[in-house]
Amino acid sequence: MPENIELDAVDWEILRCLQSFGRMTNRDLAARAGVAASTCQMRVRRLTEAGVITGYHADLDWSLLGSPVQAFLAVQVRPHRRPVVDAFVRHLREVPEVLRFYHLTGPDDFLVHVAVADVESLQALVLDQVTARAEVAHVRTNLVFERWTGPGLDPAGQRHGSR
């Protein structure tokens, strides 16, 4: 991927639209971006080949899938060295309740987003899958009351609705 890919207002509009609805037809996407369908398809292909668009996904309602309780686990591992971090990452990738996780700087080493059936399942997850690991020094659990989605990427100099 190029270090700095040149994007114009049309590219940014395509990216904004795809963030909001990744299954938008090329024809609708082209209309929103103000270009011909063939031009839009070429631009999406270029953005994908450059690595700007990395994939598409479905945003799921976990409560309808039997996992209405979500939480963030702030985890500290010790020692904070590559072999320990790599082993913990491998472990988290195998835990089905883990939706997404991040390796951080600051007082916490990982932020882990989980979805479970109930508070008892959350407790079991924390005790059996996280704190049971020798490298885990501390876990702080934060329940999610409600979730919102932001407007998506709004890069410097590019404002929503501007061209």
pLDDT averaged per 10 residues in sequence order, the chain, 163 residues: 79 92 95 96 96 91 96 97 97 97 97 98 98 97 91 56 40
Both 100 and 124 in one domain: the answer is yes
- Determine the pLDDT at residue 158: 53
Q: Half-sphere exposure of residue 21, counting CA atoms within 13 Å on the CB side?
A: 7
Q: 92 to each of 3, 26, 47, how far by Cα in Å?
A: 30, 36, 30
Both 25 and 84 in one domain: the answer is no
- Determine the pLDDT at residue 72: 98
Q: Where are the alpha helices (DSSP H) in 50-139?
A: 82-94, 119-125
Distance CA 150, CA 148 (A): 7
Both 44 and 101 in one domain: the answer is no
Residue 1 within a domain: no
Both 66 and 128 in one domain: the answer is yes
Both 80 and 118 in one domain: the answer is yes
Both 38 and 67 in one domain: the answer is no
pTM: 0.80
Which CATH number covers residue 118?
3.30.70.920
- Determine the pLDDT at residue 151: 75
Residue 156 within a domain: no
The total number of structural domains that make up the chain: 2
Residue 54 within a domain: no
Both 130 and 71 in one domain: the answer is yes
Both 17 and 87 in one domain: the answer is no
- Determine the pLDDT at residue 27: 97
| Domain that residue 42 falls in | 9-49
